[in-house]
Amino acid sequence: MKVTEQSQSRMVLTGSPLQQMVTGCVVIAMGLVGAVICLRHGATLGLLACLPIAGVGIYELVTARRLTVVADRSIGTVSIAWRSLAAAGERSVDIPTIDRIAYREFISEHRDQHGRRTDRDATSSLVLTDGSTVLLDRERDSSPRYSLSLPVSRDRSADKELAMFLGVSMIDNGLVVVAASAKVDQGAPPAQAAPPAQAAPPAQADQLAHAEQPAHAARVTPPARPLQTPVLRPVPIALPGQAMVAPTERPPWLQ
Question: Is 81 part of a structural domain of the chain?
Answer: yes
Residue 109 domain-assigned?
yes
Identify the residue with better confidence: 116 or 4: 4
Average pLDDT value for residue range 155-164: 92
Q: Is residue 121 assigned to a domain?
A: yes
pLDDT of residue 12: 94
Phi first, then psi: what are they for 142, rounded to 5°?
A: -135, 140
- Rounded to the nearest integer, the mean pLDDT of the chain is 76
Give percent above pLDDT 90 in the chain. 29
Give the CATH number for residue 73. 2.30.29
Name, in order, each residue with C-beta under 8 angstroms of 16's C-beta and a sequence gap of 6 or more. 66
Q: Is residue 163 one of the residues assigned to a domain?
A: yes
Is residue 196 in some structural domain? no
Tens-digit pLDDT profile for residues 43-52? 777 777 788 8
At 33, which amino acid appears?
V
pLDDT at 20: 80
CB contact set of 2 (below 8 Å; sequence gap of 6+) = 13, 14, 15, 154, 157, 158
Please give the tally of structural domains in the chain.
1
Integer Cα distance of 137 and 20 in angstroms: 13
Kindly state whether residue 51 falls inside one of the protein's structural domains. no
Return the minimum-mean-pLDDT range out of 20-24, 109-113, 124-128, 139-143. 109-113
Strands (E), the chain: 2-6, 10-15, 65-72, 77-84, 88-94, 98-112, 115-128, 133-142, 169-172, 175-178
Q: Residue 139 above 50 pLDDT?
A: yes
- Indicate if the pLDDT at residue 223 is higher than 50: yes
Query: Is residue 159 included in any domain, yes or no?
Result: yes
Q: Name the pTM for this structure.
A: 0.61
Instruction: Decide which of 44 and 226 is more confident.
Output: 44
- Whether residue 131 is contained in a domain is answered as yes
Cβ contact 236:244 at 8 Å: yes
> 234 pLDDT exceeds 60?
no
**What is the residue range of 122's domain?**
2-17+64-178
pLDDT category at 21 given cuts 50, 70, 90 is confident
